[in-house]
Structures are given as C-alpha cells and as structure tokens.
Amino acid sequence: MMHNIQTLISAEELNARTAELGKQISEDYKGKEVHLICVLKGGVMFMVDLSKQIQDIPVTMDFMAVSSYGNEVSSSGVVKIVKDLDESIEGKEVIIVEDIIDSGRTLSYLVNILKDRKPNSIKICTLLDKPDRRVVDDVQVDYTGFTIPDKFVLGYGLDYLQRYRNLPYIGTMDS
C-alpha cells in the first residue's frame, strides 16, 4: 500500500539549502579538516549531499547507528548504540550530521558520549529541526537546514516503517 504524501520541502529547496550549509562549513573550517559523523540511517542522504558541497578543506567521514525510535513514531527515550564509529575522533573537528532533531534525546546522548572521546571540537548539523518537540535543553545546534512545525515527516532519508527513505524530497503524510 502507498500513502498519500504531500511535499513539504522540494528537492530543489533541499539542494539550495544544502549548498548554503556546505559553503558556510567550508568558510567556518577554513585551514582545518572536518570529520563528518553520519547518524544512520536517516542522516545518509543529507550527509552525502552536504559532503559534496564542502569545498577546499579535507573531509573525512564515519558512520554511527543509534536506535531510539525503532519502528515507533515517537521516541521512547531510550537510546542505544547499534553501530559504533570505526575510527577514533580524538583531536578531530567533528560535525555530527543528522536528518532531524525532534525530542533532542538522540543528540543529547550522542554528544555526551562523543565528548568523552576528546575531539578537538564537536558541532551539530541537522537538516531539520522541530523545536516545539524538544524535551532536553542541553543540545546546541550549530547548523540547521530548515525549522519545521510539529508534523511527522518522511523522505530524503527519513522513513515511515522503514519505507520512503528514497524520496528525493521531504513530505508529510495523511494519517
């Protein structure tokens, strides 16, 4: 069964904003090297496109999977590491790349454990932010693509029951 999906953010808008963020990061980290950490699976599309827009500085990447939602539509509050990083982040300029911040629990947990591994710096870049949903107050977002209202979104990495991650745009769904 397919669902009725409305476009919230088009592919063109995603491309344009991602290019701006990439340019901003390239300027902010001039003369340094950035280590992008993708939070699987939702962050994949955004990280791939964002990385292509970072220019004139060396970029390395690693991947991590945490699970907070499973197949639930809202967060249970329990975060666990499903796949850890392959490489040490000690001394690196880390940017965590996420598809969405909702309650903030995932990033709050992640930043706390990654800080203990002694990166030189750690910043957060999220494509989408739903500030109305925040339940933690210790997450500081450095780069945001779009601030969106409290609505369930999918596409461009974000799933509904593991489907729709392949959509080239962000959509909302009739329930």
Ligand X SMILES: O=P(O)(O)OC[C@H]1O[C@H](OP(=O)(O)OP(=O)(O)O)[C@H](O)[C@@H]1O
Ligand Y SMILES: Nc1nc2[nH]cnc2c(=O)[nH]1
Give the footprint of ligand Y on this chain (CB under 6 A): 69, 100, 102, 152-154, 158-160
Closer residue to ligand Y (CB): 53 or 67: 67
Question: Residue written as tokens 């344009």?
Answer: 16
Given a contact cutoff of 8 angstroms between Cβ atoms, the answer to whether 133 and 105 are in contact is no
Q: Report residue 121 as tokens.
A: 């710096």
Please say if 174 is a catalytic residue.
Answer: no
CB of 57 to ligand X, least distance (A): 26
Work out whether 105 is an interface residue with ligand X (CB under 6 A). Answer: yes
To 10 degrees, what angle do helices 11-28 and 44-52 make?
A: 60
Work out whether 172 is an interface residue with ligand X (CB under 6 A). Answer: no
Sheet holding 5-9, edge to edge: 5-9, 170-173, 153-154
Closer residue to ligand X (CB): 57 or 173: 173
Angle formed at CA 155 by CA 153 and CA 161, multiple of 5 degrees: 75
Site size for ligand X (CB under 6 A):
18
CB of 126 to ligand Y, least distance (A): 11
Binding partner of residue 154 among ligand Y, ligand X, none, CB under 5 to 8 Å per kind?
ligand Y
Reported as type and span, the H/E element at residue 173 is strand 170-173
Binding positions for ligand X, 41-80, rule CB under 6 A: 41-42, 67-69, 75
| β pairing state of 93-101 and 121-129 | parallel
Closer residue to ligand X (CB): 53 or 75: 75
Taking phi over 0 as left and psi of -120 to 50 as alpha, with beta for the rest, 165 belongs to alpha
Work out whether 126 is an interface residue with ligand X (CB under 6 A). Answer: no
Among residues 49, 84, 99, 102, the one annotated as catalytic is 102
Binding partner of residue 125 among ligand Y, ligand X, none, CB under 5 to 8 Å per kind?
none
Given a contact cutoff of 8 angstroms between Cβ atoms, the answer to whether 160 and 3 are in contact is yes
- Give catalytic residue positions: 102
Residues near ligand X (CB under 6 A): 39-42, 67-69, 75, 98-106, 159
